[in-house]
Amino acid sequence: MTHNHLIVPCKVKMNSATPSPKISGTEKLFNKAAIEDMALITRVLEIYDQKQIAELLNKKCGGNRSRETVNRWIKGKMQPKLSHIEFQALSHIFPKKPKHYGNADFTFIDLFAGIGGIRKGFDEAGGECVFTSEWDRFSVKTYKANHYCGGENHSFNSDIRDITLSHLAEISDEEAYGHIDQLIPDHDVLLAGFPCQPFSLAGVSKKNSLGRMHGFECDAQGTLFFDVCRIIKAKRPVGFVLENVKNLKSHDKGKTFQVICNALDELGYDVADVAVTRGPDPKVIDAAHFVPQHRERIVLAGFRRDLDVFNEFTLKDVRKHFPSDKATFGDILELEVDAKYILTPKLWEYLYNYAKKHREKGNGFGFGLTRPHNIARTLSARYHKDGSEILVDRGFSETLSFHDEKNMANRPRRLTPTECSRLMGFVGPNQSSFVIPVSDTQAYRQFGNSVVVPVFKAVASVMKSRIIEGKNRN
């Protein structure tokens, strides 16, 4: 609708003998516009803060909006009055609905979603996301800035336990499963990058006293994997993809992995390559086949046994999707970078001496100086601290002394958040379309905790025919 600047009518002092004033059409138009303006601003605040909104309005539309103005809107001290241009500018910052949504090949839900790395891979393979769960408020900002979350066919949840009710011991299993079935839409595939947690018997005695201790309900109790199991049991998707760190197999002396495998088997699912114990494990996929970064993650992909679509499915077929023209590390670098990303002389000297000391002891600790044709080390969630695992070489020479003037001028630098988005495959080389609405510190944490998108596009691609077959049989 067209938004007009209107004068707020004066309040009329009322008494018992004063008839209620009639509301004019102009006043109704103003009230409707103010409500729509505030609803839009509230949505935008899920991604951007007050200062960012003011800057965006000023950049797109001119004017002198300030953080304080937006604050007054939020606190109700002042009604927002957006011009038509301003309203349109804010409306267009949200991700557009993918063209295949509404006619997708399959549907999926995205649990422990982070910034949507697994989702993006399955989106690109023709799937449609119908439910997202992520509790970290900063990750939610980045997720909503980059993935379509609108419409009636998608819902967003923060704490997954509010869905599974796993934190409420007094809730019966029947009530919990009914609650899950009501709040989570039917879907074909469940995606989850769940945290790695040890399994213990803590809290099991309460379940036992209520006569509900059996199988995964006992073994996985108190972990977020338990919530995943409850959702699988309640919704019975065709398949699932669970992602975790490579060390999941050896975590807690292998007990964690065994409990997970037993639980998935109990739920009636076959897991790809689960019996592989020797040689290369197809479940462990190195992102270096897709991007210039070593990043090994374990992928558990499974299908419902009663649908009979598994048919010796293996993740070995992921190799069929290795790109023939993989980008180099140099390809993902920006041409011009703010000087703030260059290490200070003090930090660079500390990292250099730390690495030198450990080399002399025969240890492998130290920084990773990365050149254009190198494969980078794994980007970690602690990258914001010193960036030591992936330092971009700017011409440091080992033949010169460390303190040589040229070496000091060519100190290495951190990756920028935009370069991290390229290294993680959210966008291609030379692309900057991934929106980063958070601080550099938060962005580094988010990328360090994420997955490499092309890996999961490949996983989705090798699963797709079986997902569709299972969907048709379901």
Record the tokens describing residue 430, joined without a space.
């030379």
Is 196 part of the annotated catalytic residue set? yes
Q: Of 87-96, 161-170, 229-238, 275-284, which gets the smallest average pLDDT?
A: 275-284
Average pLDDT on 219-240 reads 87
Name the active-site residue from 196, 229, 261, 420.
196
Residue pair 276/283 in contact (Cβ under 8 Å)? The answer is yes
Q: Is the pLDDT of residue 216 over 70?
A: no
Residue pair 312/280 in contact (Cβ under 8 Å)? The answer is no
Residue pair 410/404 in contact (Cβ under 8 Å)? The answer is no
Provide the H-helix boundaries in 153-284: 161-164, 173-183, 204-209, 215-219, 224-235, 255-266
* pLDDT interval class at 263 (50, 70, 90): very high
What is the pLDDT, as a whole number, of residue 64?
Answer: 87
Q: What span, in angstroms and rounded, lies between the C-alpha atoms of 213 and 173? A: 10
SS in 3 state form for 70-109? HHHHHCCCCCCCCCHHHHHHHHCCCCCCCCCCCCCCEEEE
For residue 116, the Cα-to-chain-centroid distance in whole angstroms is 3
Closest CA to 122 of 187, 180, 181, 183: 187
Q: Is the pLDDT of residue 217 over 50?
A: yes
Query: Any bridge partners for residue 189, and if so which?
Result: 108, 239
Cβ neighbours of residue 320 under 8 Å, at least 6 residues apart?
462
* pLDDT interval class at 219 (50, 70, 90): low
In order of 133, 134, 176, 211, 396, the CA distances from 227 in angstroms are 12, 13, 11, 19, 49
Residue pair 133/163 in contact (Cβ under 8 Å)? The answer is yes
pLDDT tens by residue, 433-471 = 999 999 999 999 999 999 999 999 999 999 999 999 999
Q: What span, in angstroms and rounded, lies between the C-alpha atoms of 37 and 3? A: 9
Residue with more model confidence, 76 or 134: 134
Instruction: HSE, CB side, 13 Å, CA atoms: give it for residue 18.
Output: 7
Cβ neighbours of residue 172 under 8 Å, at least 6 residues apart?
210, 212
Question: What is the three-class DSSP state of 53?
Answer: helix
Q: Is the pLDDT of residue 170 over 50?
A: yes
pLDDT tens by residue, 331-374 = 999 999 999 999 999 999 999 999 888 877 767 667 999 999 99
Q: Is the pLDDT of residue 183 over 60?
A: yes
Give ∠ CA 256-261-264 in degrees, rounded to 5: 125
Residue with more model confidence, 328 or 354: 328
For residue 289, report the phi and psi dihedrals to the nearest 5 degrees. Answer: -75, -15
* pLDDT interval class at 268 (50, 70, 90): very high
In single-letter form, the type of residue at position 381 comes to A
What is the pLDDT, as a whole number, of residue 283?
Answer: 97
> Tokens 């199988």 — which residue?
215
> Tokens 């267009």 — which residue?
92
Q: Is the pLDDT of residue 23 over 70?
A: no
Per DSSP bridges, beta strands 127-133 and 106-111 are parallel
What is the pLDDT, as a whole number, of residue 79?
Answer: 85
Q: Is the pLDDT of residue 198 over 70?
A: no
Give percent of the chain with pLDDT exceeding 70: 87
Euclidean distance between the first and the last CA atom of the chain, given in angstroms as a whole number:
44
Query: Any bridge partners for residue 301, and if so which?
Result: 241
What pTM was estimated for this model as a whole? 0.89
Average pLDDT on 313-332 reads 97
Give the total residue count for the chain. Answer: 474
